[in-house]
Structure 1
């Protein structure tokens, strides 16, 4: 069915992450993924989904060593441990207000998202409740997944077939998988685009781990932003909105690329592992 061609984790939410060759997948997702976030004094959880407020986080890179210690590399190349008070000061300067790195999910943490102009970027009911904040951006406000810094799914998978399909829709766009911040990139060969649509509800054996495909991944503005050496491209998500709007729960037809997975059985996953489909019992 496919082969894992890349594995990524993002120790600090909305910062650039790191590619790994092998990783333990636990019930909480990939070991070291979204274990920290940047918080401000209002209770907001730092997310590049609100780029005017938090987009500078994408200029930082987070990584984890073999002991589980998280380190942040700032835009000027300075590397500091996540628990270093000096990091909070540097990030506050970068963001423009007082922020701090935390491994503790706030009880009432808010997650803010910019509302895109194109249809399918957010549910219409949510669009109707949007408001303009102090940055001048139209946003919605919700919460992170309970007890975590994840937006929803614990594992996010993108297929090469879907990326290839999108290149035919927007040939000028660079559909590098990193734009979509996946945990797993799976090479599904030369078949038609969006094969993951047919996996929903099924179990996927990936290396030693068993995962369940839960829901297509609704996309926000983040893939349009600059990532590392990848330039900004507002056409990326407009193309996805044209090519792939699909039902998501009871939220209507949303612009999606990839699939969210839950973990049924923990285990190690490695680049090169086969992925096989197993019907749910």
Structure 2
């Protein structure tokens, strides 16, 4: 097996950027989910998992340069988040994004204490459509993720080319950090990786902790990719599995992992069980 693709998402729920290499720490890929939008009315972090309110997040792209994170979007939108600790920089970006979403938001670099986000029930989104207000659950940061990060559960997300081939879904919809090329003929090979360790290259070691339950996000438009309900329906039909001991069976694709030993990884690095 080897790394086919590396991607990070500098701002939570925005489109990511492909990268040739990455430093991996216990907090995941350097620069991944470094920023997020805070809904000032609710005190919750904005997430496309609640598409009736936040699906436009997936129309914004991010890129990391020498001057910080750049956010681009529809109608020529171009914003530089140089230093969100500087109130003037953060304010300019937040005002522009508040206009885009029609509600007051702030770009933040640290999650609020006991930070939360809303997650629409995926089956309800499929039935009613992404613009409908549907039942949702509330998730809290820190359940398996490093403290002080914007990860929903774990710092690294992996998926195999076999699973992508089986589902016929563009990798962007599942928002992985690593796409792993494998010789497996059948999809969902990751189901057998739970509690195993992966050695990447010569040094980095990851421990697979859970299968990845899929929400409504893969079904939404991602930039120029149109909506695709099959991105959720296909795994619901073919791969309902228990992501963690004691949990209910859920539609899953890919796996979450914790960082056991940090280091640098690159495209083409070997991936093997350690």
Secondary structure of the residue aligned to 1:269 is: strand
Gaps of 5+ in 1: 122-134, 168-174
Structure 2 residue matching 1:117: 3-state secondary structure: helix
TM-score norm. by structure 2 comes to 0.89
Aligned length: 254
Once the two structures are superposed, the pairs formed by residues 84-163 of structure 1 within 5 Å of their partners are 84=89, 85-117=91-123, 136-145=133-142, 146-163=147-164
Contact 1:22–1:271 (8 Å) recurs in 2: yes
- Quick check: 13-22 or 229-238, which moved more? 229-238
Written as runs of structure 1 = structure 2, the 5 A alignment for 1:57-76 is: 57-66=57-66, 69-76=68-75
Corresponding residue to 2:224 among 226, 229, 247: 229
Aligned mates of 1:136, 1:191 — CA distance in 2 = 40
Kept in 1, the 8 Å contact 2:173–2:231? The answer is no
Alpha-carbon distance in 1 for matches of 2:133, 2:185: 43
- Give a deviation string over 1:110-166, Cα, whole Å, max 9, x none: 110111227xx9xxxxxxxxxxxxx73211112122421000011000101011122
RMSD of equivalent CA atoms: 1.6
TM, length-normalised to structure 1 = 0.86
Partner-residue secondary structure (3-state), 1:76: helix
**Residues 149-158 or 244-253, more deviating:** 244-253
Instruction: Pick which of 142-151 and 268-277 moved more.
Output: 142-151
Return the offset for 1:66: 4.4
Establish whether residue 240 from structure 1 lines up as the match of residue 235 from structure 2. yes
The answer to whether the 8 Å contact 1:43/1:108 transfers is no
Q: Which residue number corresponds to residue 2 of structure 2?
A: 3
1:179 aligns to what? 173
State the SS of the aligned residue for 1:156. Answer: strand
Change over 3 Å in CA distance of 1:71–1:37 after alignment to 2 = same
Counterpart in 2 of 1:132?
Answer: none
2:166 corresponds to: 165
The answer to whether the Cα contact below 8 Å between 1:197 and 1:216 also exists between their aligned partners in 2 is yes
Matches of residues 25-64 of structure 1 in structure 2 within 5 Å?
Answer: 25-41=24-40, 42-64=42-64
Q: Is the 8 A contact 1:49 1:113 kept in 2?
A: yes
**Residue 210 of structure 1 aligns to a residue in which SS?**
strand
Please say if residues 38 and 106 of structure 2, whose CA atoms lie closer than 8 Å, have aligned partners that are also in contact: yes
